[in-house]
Amino acid sequence: MVEVDEFKTKIRSMISQEYSLEFLGNNFEQIVKTISDSKAQSIYNWIQKVIERKIQPITIGSKKQYKDWKISELMTFRYAFNLNNVEYRILFVKVKNSFYIEFHLGDHKYYDKVRKSLDLKKGNY
Amino acid sequence: MIIYNPNDEDIIKERIEETQKILDSIPAKYCFISGSFLFKKDYRDIDIFIISRTKKEIKVINKKINIIRIDFNDIYSLFYHSASKSCIAKNILPKKPLKVTIADYWDVINEAVPTVLNEKDKYHKNIRFLVLYTEYLKNNQILDTYELRRKIEKFKNFGEILEYIKQEIPLIINKQAKKSYIKRYFYTQAGYYKDSIDYKSQKYLYELSHNIVKGVA
């Protein structure tokens, strides 16, 4: 099982940037504590691929504001995994051609909430 | 109990009774089951759709049950029209005329392209909206969940999906929208992709936006 601080430190060291990455999610700590070492390694491998630009981002041409940025200035990387038959998702948000700002981890409900605030979900289409 | 089956597909008889039992156990007036549980002997999940204004959690014991909530404000959506087209419902389902916009369609494409490129072999779940919208705007046909699954299964690999997008979408959008709207909307979109064109997906979407403006596949 993974220690929360160790998990955060590892990700922060991988992206190595001055801007402080925020880790967010309703049950972030509880979820991290149930991640096995091998699952954590898969997440680190995925982050490495994000850094190497091997993972495709989702971008949105929206003029809406999200915190200090316009949504069109951001890109989001998505990773899904399963823990004890519950689907969890990571949304890793980056400012285009710049630093990473947020690492979201949560269940489907939380994922939908973040997607809405990032303008990625506008209802049931 | 109401059975919606406009294509006269073979619903498995025993499943009708089982569906009734499940729906009776759901504390919601408007709920329905659609998908493979009704039509296929082997099924993975039982998709129960609940139309409701409240967000109160409904707990079910059966682990195969997958609850999908639809807000009353979303019953105009293609998603709802598709899911409820062939189904078994507890009561007569509320209907609102379908509302589909090109901007919604583009949001679907915008998310589908990077997802398909990332998932490569596991794209099936992620292209549902893409195929649903494309088939509706191309043929004016709303696929039900079963038809949609069959259509998706016809793709042999992710390359075929990218080719499908490239071939179909410029023609569909040019048929559905005014030239002035297309120019304004898609030149703006192309501008957003330009900053990140070193990503395959963004380059693909950038080129697709331009092809839509030019009206060529």
CB B81 within 8 A of CB B142: yes
* CA dist B178 → B97, B135, B170 (Å): 22, 20, 13
User: Quick check: is A122 in a domain?
Assistant: no
Residues of A in contact with B118 (CB under 8 A): 55-56, 78
Domain boundaries, chain B: 2-89, 102-214
The residue among B100, B104, B74, B93 whose CA lies nearest residue B32 is B93
Ranges of beta strands (E only) in chain B are 2-4, 30-34, 46-51, 65-70, 87-89
Within a domain: A12: yes
Tell me the HSE value of B170 on the side-chain side, using a 13 A CA sphere: 19
Interface test with A, best of B125, B127, B199, B212 (most A CBs within 10 A): B199
Number of domains in chain A: 1
Residue A53 lies in a domain: yes
Q: Which of A53, A78, A125 sits opposite B79 (nearest CB)?
A: A125
Model confidence pLDDT, tens digit, residues A20-69: 999 999 999 999 999 999 999 999 999 999 999 999 999 998 889 999 99
A64 falls within a domain: yes
Amino acid, single-letter form, for residue B136: Y
Non-local (6+) Cβ contacts of A21 within 8 A are: A11, A12, A15, A100, A101, A102, A103
Range of the domain at A38: 4-117
What is the rounded end-to-end Cα distance, in angstroms, of chain B? Answer: 46
- Of the pLDDT bands very low, low, confident and very high (cuts 50, 70, 90), residue A19 is very high
Q: pLDDT of A84-100, one tens digit each?
A: 878 899 999 999 999 99
Say whether pLDDT at A124 is over 60: no
Q: Do B70 and A55 make contact, defined as CB atoms within 8 angstroms?
A: no
pLDDT tens sequence across B170-185: 999 999 999 999 999 9
Contacts of B114 in chain A (CB under 8 A): 56-58
The span from the CA of A121 to the CA of B75, in Å, is 16
Rounded alpha-carbon distances, angstroms, from residue B80 to B54, B122, B165, B184: 17, 24, 23, 30
Q: Which of B129, B138, B73, B78 is nearest to B106 (CA)?
A: B129
pLDDT above 60 for B89: yes
Summarised one tens digit per residue, pLDDT across range B40-66 is 888 888 999 999 887 777 777 787 888
> ipTM score here?
0.91
Which helix (H) or strand (E) element contains residue B117?
Answer: helix B102-119
**Which pLDDT tens digit goes with each residue over B186-203?**
999 999 999 899 999 999
Asked if residue B216 has pLDDT above 80, the reply is: no
pLDDT value of residue A84: 83
Spatial CA neighbour of B25 closest among B37, B33, B34, B35? B33
Task: Please provide the average confidence, as pLDDT, over all residues in chain A.
Answer: 93
| End-to-end Cα spacing for chain A | 39
Question: What integer pLDDT is reported at residue A122 of this predicted model?
Answer: 67
A5 min Cα distance to partner chain B (Å): 29
Query: A60 φ, ψ to 5°?
Result: -130, 130
CA atoms of B38 and B54, how far apart (whole Å) = 27
pLDDT digits (tens, 9 = 90+) for A104-115: 999 988 999 999
Nearest to A55 among B118, B188, B196 (CB): B118
Amino acid letter at B104? D
| Cα–Cα distances in angstroms (integers) from residue A77 to residues A28, A58, B84, B109, in the given order | 18, 6, 32, 16
What distance in Å separates residue B7's CA from the closest CA in chain A? 24
Length of chain B as a residue count: 217
Given a cut of 80, is residue B140 above it in pLDDT? Answer: yes
Closest CA to B25 of B52, B50, B45, B56: B50
